[in-house]
Amino acid sequence: MQDWVPLLVLSAAAWTAGPWVRGRIAVLSAAALTVAYAFPDLSGLVTVAAFDDLGGADVLSRIVVLLLAPVVVLGGGLAALAVRERLAGQGHGQVKGHE
Position 81 confidence tier, pLDDT thresholds 50, 70, 90: confident
Q: Which long-range contacts (CB under 8 A, 24 or more apart) does 79-88 make?
A: 81/23, 81/24, 81/27, 84/23
Position 51 confidence tier, pLDDT thresholds 50, 70, 90: very low
| Per-residue confidence (pLDDT) for residue 63, from 0 to 100 | 63
Q: Single out the residue of 70, 9, 77, 11 nearest to residue 36, CA to CA.
A: 70
CA pair distance 93, 99, nearest whole angstrom: 12
Residue with the larger pLDDT of the pair 50 and 72: 72
In contact, 73 and 30? CB cutoff 8 Å: yes
Left if phi > 0, otherwise alpha if psi is -120 to 50, otherwise beta: which for 55? left
pTM: 0.29
